[in-house]
Chain A
Amino acid sequence: MFESLTDRLQGIFGELRNHGRLSEADVDVALKEVRLALLEADVHFRVARDFVKRVRDRAVGVEVSQSLTPAQQVLRIVNEELVETLGGTAGRLDWTGPVPAPILMVGLNGQGKTTSSAKLAVRLRKMGQRPFMIACDTFRPAAIQQLVTLGKQVGCDVYEEGTEASPVEIARRGLEWGRDRGHTIAIVDTAGRQQVDERLMDELVELRQAINPTEILLVASAMTGQEAVNVAQAFHARLGLTGLVLTQIDGDARGGAALSIRAVTGIPVKFLGVGEKIEALAEFHPDRVASRILGMGDMLTLIEQTQEAFDHDEATRLQKKLLKGQFTFDDFLGQMQSVRKMGSLQSILEMIPGLNQLTKRPEIQAALNEKQFRRVEAIIQSMTTQERALPQVIDGSRRRRIAAGSGTKVQDVNQLLNQFREMQGMMKQMSKGTMPKHLARLMRQS
């Protein structure tokens, strides 16, 4: 639904290649699109307004360089400014002072406080700490059981007293309990608040005074709309937040809330909640969130996942084979399995700028069908070693055998053989330094 900002700017600046400098008029047209992109990403309208103003000041009069198109030029400034705003001080946790150092987790209902508490515990333990959790959400039914269950899952102690005692009492006794057991950090899970609920806010303030936390982390969903600013301000004003945990970043929300909260309260984003798995708490990288906000995908995450999934030496070897046109079906199968290790193809494509819109189209959806992959796998596995290395030996009778062996039709086998030949041809072409036309077009768009 959201056209990538790059595409839109490219469109606007299409005829601008001859200009020497970016004029005010050029920049203003571009910034209208930037503003719209920010608003679509749920950046608070005031933050968006200030942001656009800053970019304008920087962009007007900038020389259009040889290497970058005007669109890229503006985008670069926008991106730099975004990264600067989001970044700044590094998101380190502070646990100096008396042990166990209390970390207070606060936020609205349903943003993922309890889950983030457990994820944080896992992370801290990996860093050599001995964390435990205190269940102070006495309000939501079964919130305590949820924390206890998560604690068991990750092998982390949980201190709880049920729902009768006050959170302040529970936290005080919890800290003593943890100290006796040699824990170094206490993660204090609190009840979800509606910002308007003064009574619960008061309780949090009391809790803060009682345990004097070294960190007060606001847990907020990347899906949060314009309200993010008011929420963060309200919590910050009463509690003095030290950082933000941005959750549900594994969805397709663009997470403008992070920019809004950072710009208005100045608190840094410390962690990103990225998945259902308990290990899924990631370090915050401003550049990644910046490109998400701009709807430009998340290339860096993709590159990292690729590095994890592929063996580097193997990749070099394959590259050589590819360029020489010696790529075999065995290599192809290996590649396919590596790709699938990275997650569904759809999620991979969604991270590539310009391609994320493509994945929403029905014909692409059909092509990404996992069944299709299993079929291709079956076909290749029904080939002999010789056939995989030298596909040209596959004649009519072999095709029928392969089809029967893999439970597919001869047409399916033919289709795969054709695609494979085409791919080999394409690779040879690329190794000669010319890029196949349709690939070149695709690259330009993104």
Chain B
Amino acid sequence: MFKFFRRPASDPGAETSAGVSQAATSDAVPTASITGSLGKTRGGLFGAVRNLFRTAGTLDAAFWDELEERLIAADVGAHVTADLITELRARDARRAFASGEDAETALRELLEAILARAGDTGLYLPEEGVGVVLVIGVNGTGKTTTVAKLTRYLQLGGRAPFLIAGDTFRAAAIDQLKVWGDRTGATVFAQSPGSDTAAVVFDGIGAAISRGADTIIIDTAGRLHTKTNLMAELEKVRRVIGRRQAGAPHETLLVLDAVTGQNGLIQAKTFMGSVGVTGLVLTKLDSSAKGGVVFAIAEELRLPIKLVGTGERIDDLQPFDPSEFVRALFS
């Protein structure tokens, strides 16, 4: 039903089929490259992993212990790390790695495979009719900022996003979105603080359709996944969207802060269970945080990362590409 949403690639004729990574189109976004923004990550603990490979003389127990600790330091999580180490050691036992570099290549492949298994990283919005993107997450991960960046991102792709200020709870969240609306030139639909989000969304979609918008992005209040009443509210919002616009939301993006540790997995799991997440947006990747929990999420939930926030400027949003991501970590 949905066509793959095409970005204004330098080569517009290029056919990008579903399932293929977006590395080819990412250079169309006029910002620093993902490799550049990951420089800090690379210099950090994954950098340490890389150095470890370079210096390892023999792959002894101490080597593996240290490798384990460094993966854990990158928030990859105790379980995924243990699996990775077990696999690498098994391979080493079958046929010894000739060098640290060989082990590095193997680890890179394993990490890439985890991310690739998680699924398609493309954004899917219908080419006909209005596409709806619902943005959700716990408090403070950068939902509103992501909505703004996504607006710019989609504008560059030739779309005209219409924003709905669904965060009626946090003080001044509506003002924050309006500021971004002014900066991006996108229309912001808002009602008074404290109003029912589902009602705002219902009216907002109506307003967007009557204005002939092609894309709606809905900001929501941050909520801890443990608050059952707030999760029920979100489920209601999702139902209302579906009722107002058949087939919507086309994308439900969970915004995850790269600083988040192992709780990120529980967050993703809970949001997925209640409203059906289609992809992750990993934010604040420009900090020194590693965001390694995405490996645990990919492994356990098969939930793809679709976009990464790589800076504080409005155009610091990149499509996520698993192989490039891992390559950047080790290059």
A-B contact pairs, 24 of them (CB 8 A): A40-B262, A42-B262, A108-B284, A108-B287, A109-B142, A110-B139, A141-B179, A142-B176, A145-B172, A146-B171, A149-B172, A194-B284, A221-B260, A223-B260, A225-B289, A225-B292, A226-B72, A226-B73, A226-B74, A226-B75, A231-B288, A250-B227, A251-B226, A252-B266
- Give Cα A276 to B74, complex, Å: 30
Q: How many A-B residue pairs have CB under 8 A?
A: 151
Contact flags A293-318 to B (C-beta < 8 A → 1, else 0): 00000000000000000000000000
- Cross-interface CB contact of B72 among A1, A39, A276, cutoff 8 Å: A39
Interface residue range, chain B: 35 or more
Q: Does B225 contact A (CB under 8 A)?
A: yes
Flag if B262 contacts A225 (CB, 8 Å).
yes
Shortest beta-carbon distance, B37 to chain A, in Å? Answer: 11
- Residues from chain A with Cβ under 8 Å of B290 in the complex: 225-227
Chain A: CB-nearest residue to B232: A370
Any chain A CB within 8 A of the CB of B312?
A: yes
- The residue on A at minimum CB distance from B179 is A141
Between B142, B269, B289, the greatest number of chain A beta carbons within 10 A of the residue's beta carbon is seen for: B289
Partner of A252 from B75, B172, B193, B226 at Cβ < 8 Å = B226
Residues of A within 8 A of B227 (CB): 250, 276
Given contacts A110-B140, A194-B284, contact A223 B261 (CB under 8 A): yes
Query: Does the CB pair B312–A344 fall under 8 Å?
Result: no
Measured between beta carbons, the chain A residues less than 8 angstroms from B266 are 1, 252-253
Do A227 and B264 touch (CB < 8 A)?
A: no
Q: Is B321 an interface residue (CB 8 A)?
A: no
Q: Is the CB of B263 within 8 A of A253?
A: yes
- Chain B residues 176 to 216 lying within 8 A of chain A, measured CB to CB, are 176, 178-180, 193
List residues of chain B with CB within 8 A of the CB of A227: 75, 259, 287-290
Q: Secondary structure of the B side of the interface?
A: loop
Contact A223 B226 (CB under 8 A): no
Residue A254 at the chain B interface, CB threshold 8 Å: yes
CB distance from B233 to the nearest CB of A (A): 12
Please tell me which one of the listed residues B77, B170, B224, B286 contacts residue A146 in the complex, with CB atoms under 8 A apart. Answer: B170
Q: Which residues of A contact B261 (CB under 8 A)?
A: 42, 223-226, 228, 253, 256-257
A195 near B140 with CB under 8 A, answer no
Instruction: Please give the residue numbers on chain B whose beta carbons come within 8 Å of chain A beta carbons, in ascending order.
Output: 40, 69, 72-75, 77-78, 138-142, 169-173, 175-176, 178-180, 193, 224-229, 257, 259-267, 269, 284, 286-290, 292-293, 312
By the criterion CB–CB under 8 Å, are A251 and B140 in contact?
no
Chain A positions within 8 Å of B259 at CB level? 108, 221, 223-225, 227-228, 231
* B229 and chain A: residue at smallest CB distance: A344
Contact assessment for A225 and B78 in the assembled complex, using a CB-CB cutoff below 8 Å: no
Q: Complex formed: what's the CA distance from A118 to B72 in Å?
A: 35
| Residues of chain B contacted by A276 (CB below 8 angstroms) | 169, 227
* Residue from B74, B173, B229, B289 in contact with A142 in the complex, judged by beta carbons closer than 8 Å: B173
